[in-house]
């Protein structure tokens, strides 16, 4: 018997872990020192900067760090 709701739960947990890990790496790497205009726009739009392409259910809404990172929003 297949239970799609269990798969969806596992997929969302992996994305949540990825998002959290990405946030930690970003803060530890010194990326928080100088905010670029696209990074500020991303944060004002309630997005988050990502080293990897945005994956569903997150949507790509722009860039961060002068185009080096992607801006993703739930």
Half-sphere exposure of 36 (CA within 13 A, CB side): 13
* pLDDT higher at 63 or 2: 63
Residue 21's pLDDT is: 59
Of 56, 57, 35, the closest CA to residue 69 belongs to 35
Q: Quote the pLDDT of residue 19.
A: 55
Taking the whole predicted model, whether its pTM rises above 0.75 is answered as no
User: For 16-64, what is each residue's pLDDT tens digit?
Assistant: 555 555 665 555 444 555 689 999 999 999 999 999 999 999 999 999 9
């Amino acid at each position: 018997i297949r239970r799609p709701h269990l798969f969806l739960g596992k997929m969302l947990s992996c994305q949540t872990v990825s998002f959290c890990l990405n946030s930690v790496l970003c803060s530890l790497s010194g990326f928080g020192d100088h905010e670029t205009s696209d990074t500020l726009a991303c944060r004002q739009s309630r997005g988050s900067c990502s080293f990897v392409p945005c994956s569903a259910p997150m949507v790509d809404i722009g860039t961060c760090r002068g185009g080096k990172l992607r801006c993703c929003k739930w």
